[in-house]
Structure 1
Amino acid sequence: MKTKGEGRNAAAKIKDYAYGKTPDRFKNASDLQVRFRTGFIYVVLSVVCLLASEYTTLILLAVTAGVCAGEFFYMLRKDAKLPNEILGIASAVMYPIGVFFCGHNGIAIVAIGEMIALLVWYVFYSRARIADVSVSFFGSAYCGLLLCGFMVIRMSIPGFWGGVLALCVFATVWANDSSAYLVGRKIGKHKMAPRISPKKSWEGFVAGLIGSMAAWCLFTFIPGVVISIPQALCFGLACGCAGVLGDFAESRIKRNAGFKDSGTIMPGHGGLLDRTDSLFLVSTVAAVLLVLGGCIPNVF
């Protein structure tokens, strides 16, 4: 059985070997280049999974939920919490799977099953505290339950156009993040919440909302979606605000736990949770607005 030190040495050797095989033009890349390359791979993978089928979309959401939950529990464990990572990660993965196979009832099935399992763990594991149970449940719901909106959206329209619809929701988040980053980086002077997210500015916030609202206008061209331009602009505004709130929530979690990034799986971006934090609330808000607004059929 390998020790942690041997595991790190093996990982370092693999990294050195890969670096040695990397063409010179790709070495010593700037932070912006690394960020762009990582983001490009993530975007391509997401686009392919969303458009391919409902099953590949499910795999994308389940993997995202599991990885993000793992990063979340790692940070909270360092903050002197003792979450049940196995139950938390498994439940996060099961939320989109439950919605896929059982619809809205799947959420209740997973939530009740997780709560019963956590209560059994709490009763029979003397070191567990109520705070640990709460963190375990919150982490799975935060990283898994909130992503279920994408499953609802993807399945609302059969076939290719359902994938396009889900992709457009992703695109609104990317438009929000990219617009806020570029404008805030260039002219951002007035800080929104310096104690939570020092780099966020009001200029970037406004630019992000405009980007989100503009991206939502694409929904008017998708067959099967009944939405007007005023509706799209209002929904874009709401989802833009939801994305910023989701970003602030994750930043607050990191600050409280003493982390700059949630992980290192995405060079230039940090962890997967850092890259997808805005998606969580946007997923839920977009699904609720589209269904209650009569823009898409409620297949469940």
Structure 2
Amino acid sequence: MTTRNAPLTGGWRPSPLMVRILSAFVILAMVIGLVLVGIYGVYALVLLLGGLALYEFNALSDKMGSRAPAWLLFPLGVFFAFSGTALKQVDVTLVLALALVGGLGAFLFLPGQRQGLSRWAMGLAGALYIGMPFNFYLLLYTSKPNGLVWTLFTIFAVVASDASALLVGSRIGRHPFFATISPRKTVEGAIAGVVGAVIVMVIGVSMVLGINPLHAIALG
């Protein structure tokens, strides 16, 4: 009687947590590289990350029942992202007026007229939600002095917050935090995220830039 060893279907495989952490480091390296290139590298980074965020929001809005129109969401989101820098000469009031009149008017001729108002509102909300934070990052980067340092430590704080929340929440998280919005979020993870961001800002803003530590804690 002979026996056969079961074939090895695979060796070591990284856990989803490790994959996410490694991916974060790769993305962080790419972000830092483009930031150090200069303003055009930062513009390219904003277009890349902003486009991905708008695409994800578009899919999310579809699941919520009011899909944001891509022809409104993407151009308006890009405009808001660059409204304080590359497109600062363009009047924001004019763009909002065109988005209001043109956006709502377009639904008179497009399918799904009954959902026109909700879809328009979702598109405008998504453009503001995604575009304006990128606008603030660009304004921070171009500020004088130390705009680059401020931007890098802000990015580090965001990464540290996300990584800390993920590690602590997945290991010792027991108490749900806004379970109706995100079932996997925990109070322990949220606290760890805040602590991680504060530590980075204290090190960066307080020690490197010489800002009052209390101000650094508040920024974190």
TM-score, normalised with respect to structure 2: 0.81
Q: Residue 31 of structure 1 aligns with which residue?
A: 16
Q: Which residue among 62, 70, 76 is the counterpart of 2:47?
A: 62
Deviations 1:167-207 (A, max 9, x none): 11111111111111112222222222222222222222222
Answer yes or no: is 1:219 the counterpart of 2:209. Answer: no
Answer yes or no: is 1:88 the counterpart of 2:73. Answer: yes
Looking at secondary structure, tell me which structure has more helix per residue: 1
Query: Superposition RMSD on alpha carbons, in Å?
Result: 2.6
Offset of residue 221 of structure 1: 4.4
Letter in 1 for 2:51: G
Percent identical residues: 23
Deviations 1:20-77 (A, max 9, x none): xxxx98x954323422332222111111122221221122122222221122112322
Q: Residue 246 of structure 1 aligns with which residue?
A: none
Unaligned runs of 5+ in 2: 1-9
Letter in 1 for 2:167: L
Unaligned runs of 5+ in 1: 1-23, 237-300
Offset of residue 230 of structure 1: 0.7
Q: Distance in 1 between matches of 2:194 and 2:68?
A: 36
Answer yes or no: is 1:150 the counterpart of 2:134. Answer: no
* Residue aligned with 2:177, SS: strand
Whether the aligned pair in 2 keeps the contact of 1:83 and 1:136 (CA below 8 Å) is: yes
* Residue aligned with 1:100, SS: coil
Q: Distance in 2 between matches of 1:76 and 1:180?
A: 26
Answer yes or no: is 1:206 the counterpart of 2:191. Answer: yes
Q: Residue 38 of structure 2 aligns with which residue?
A: 53
Q: Distance in 2 between matches of 1:186 and 1:201?
A: 11
Number of residue pairs the alignment of both structures matches: 208
Q: Residue 174 of structure 1 aligns with which residue?
A: 159
Relative to 1, partners in 2 of residues 1:142 and 1:95: Cα closer, same or farther, differing over 3 Å? same
Matches within 5 A, 1:107-146: 107-125=92-110, 127-128=112-113, 129-146=116-133
Whether the aligned pair in 1 keeps the contact of 2:176 and 2:184 (CA below 8 Å) is: yes
Q: Which protein shows a greater Rg?
A: 2
Q: Distance in 2 between matches of 1:112 and 1:228?
A: 43
